[in-house]
Chains A and B, each alone.
Chain A
Amino acid sequence: MFTLIVDGKEITIEDGKTILEAARENGIDIPTICWHAATTANGLCRMCVVEIEGVRLLQPACIVKAGKDMKVQTRSERVIRARRTILELLASTMDLSDAPEVLAMMDEYGASAERFPDAARRESEVKDDNPMYIRDYSKCLLCWRCVQVCAEDAQYTYAINFDGRGFKTQIGTFFDKPIPETTCVLCGQCVGVCPTGALKPKRQYLLEQGVSAEEISVMNTGRKRRKS
Chain B
Amino acid sequence: MDAFDLTPVKLAIEKYIPLGRSGLLPALHAAQNIYGWVPEPVAAEIARALRVPLSDAHGVIEFYSLFYDKPTSKRVIRVCTDAACALKDADGILSRLRARHGLQPHQTPEDLSLTIEPSPCLGLCDHAPAVWTTDNGVSVVNEKGIPPSPVYGSLRLLTKNCGGETTSLKKYGEYAGLKKAKTLSREKVVDEIKASGLVGRGGAAFPAGIKWEGALKAQGDAKYVVCNADESEPGTFKDRILLLDDPHRTIEGMCIAAHAIGATKGYIYIRGEYPYIVPVLENAVNEAREAGYLEDFDIEIRVGAGAYICGEETALFESIEGKRGFPRVKPPFPTTHGLFGKPTVINNVETLCNVPLIISMGAAEYRKIGTEKSPGPKLFCLSGDVARPGVYEVPFGVTLRDLLEMAGGVADGGTLKSVLFGGAAGAFATSAHLDVKLTFEDLRESGLPLGSGVVMVFDETRDMRQVLKSLARFFAHESCGKCYPCQMGTQRQKEILDRVAEGEIRGGDFVRLQDVGWTMTDASLCGLGQTAASAVLSAMKLWPELFQG
Is B one of A's binding partners? yes
- A1: CB under 8 A from chain B? no
A190 to chain B, nearest CB (A): 12
Number of interface residues of B (CB under 8 A): 46
- A2: CB under 8 A from chain B? no
Interface pairs A-B: 7 shortest CB-CB: A158-B53, A161-B59, A169-B481, A166-B479, A167-B491, A89-B488, A161-B55
B478-521 contacts to A (CB < 8 Å) = 478-485, 487-492, 495, 506, 512, 515-516, 518-519, 521
- B66: CB under 8 A from chain A? no
* Residues from chain B with Cβ under 8 Å of A126 in the complex: none
CB within 8 Å for A89 and B62 given contacts A81-B518, A166-B480: no
Would you give 5 A-B contacts (Cβ < 8 Å), ordered by A? A88-B515, A141-B484, A174-B55, A182-B54, A183-B54
B504 to chain A, nearest CB (A): 10
A44 touching B523, Cβ below 8 Å = no
- B417: CB under 8 A from chain A? no
**Distance between Cα atoms of A120 and B518 in the complex (Å):** 21
A160 to chain B, nearest CB (A): 6
A92-143 contacts to B (CB < 8 Å) = 92-93, 115-120, 141-142
Size class of the contact patch on chain A? 35 or more
B482 touching A158, Cβ below 8 Å = no
* Residues from chain B with Cβ under 8 Å of A174 in the complex: 40, 43-44, 54-55, 57-58
**Distance between Cα atoms of A151 and B54 in the complex (Å):** 12
**Distance between Cα atoms of A148 and B62 in the complex (Å):** 18
A90 to chain B, nearest CB (A): 7
Question: B-contacting residues of A (Cβ < 8 Å)?
Answer: 33, 42-47, 49, 57-58, 60, 63, 78, 81-82, 84-86, 88-90, 92-93, 115-120, 141-142, 151, 158-169, 172-175, 182-183
A124 to chain B, nearest CB (A): 15
Determine which of B40, B69, B324, B492 lies in contact with A89 in the assembled complex, contact meaning CB atoms within 8 Å: B492
Nearest CB to that of A174 among chain B residues? B54
CB within 8 Å for A57 and B59 given contacts A81-B515, A175-B40: no
A48 to chain B, nearest CB (A): 10
A82 touching B522, Cβ below 8 Å = yes
CB within 8 Å for A116 and B522 given contacts A86-B484, A166-B477, A167-B491: no
* Residues from chain B with Cβ under 8 Å of A92 in the complex: 488, 492
Determine which of B69, B479, B485 lies in contact with A46 in the assembled complex, contact meaning CB atoms within 8 Å: B485
**Distance between Cα atoms of A185 and B57 in the complex (Å):** 19
Nearest CB to that of A150 among chain B residues? B55
Question: A-contacting residues of B (Cβ < 8 Å)?
Answer: 40, 43-44, 53-59, 62-63, 65, 69, 307, 324, 329, 476-485, 487-492, 495, 506, 512, 515-516, 518-519, 521-525, 530
**Distance between Cα atoms of A46 and B307 in the complex (Å):** 23
B21 to chain A, nearest CB (A): 12
B483 touching A167, Cβ below 8 Å = no
A90 touching B512, Cβ below 8 Å = no
Nearest CB to that of A141 among chain B residues? B484
**Distance between Cα atoms of A166 and B63 in the complex (Å):** 9
A96 to chain B, nearest CB (A): 13
CB within 8 Å for A90 and B484 given contacts A57-B522, A183-B53: yes
* Residues from chain A with Cβ under 8 Å of B516 in the complex: 85, 89
CB within 8 Å for A46 and B483 given contacts A166-B476, A166-B491: yes
A44 touching B482, Cβ below 8 Å = yes
**Distance between Cα atoms of A57 and B486 in the complex (Å):** 15
**Distance between Cα atoms of A169 and B44 in the complex (Å):** 22
A42 touching B329, Cβ below 8 Å = yes
**Distance between Cα atoms of A87 and B44 in the complex (Å):** 39
Determine which of A116, A166, A168 lies in contact with B492 in the assembled complex, contact meaning CB atoms within 8 Å: A116
* Residues from chain A with Cβ under 8 Å of B521 in the complex: 57
A122 to chain B, nearest CB (A): 9
**Distance between Cα atoms of A125 and B53 in the complex (Å):** 26
A142 to chain B, nearest CB (A): 7
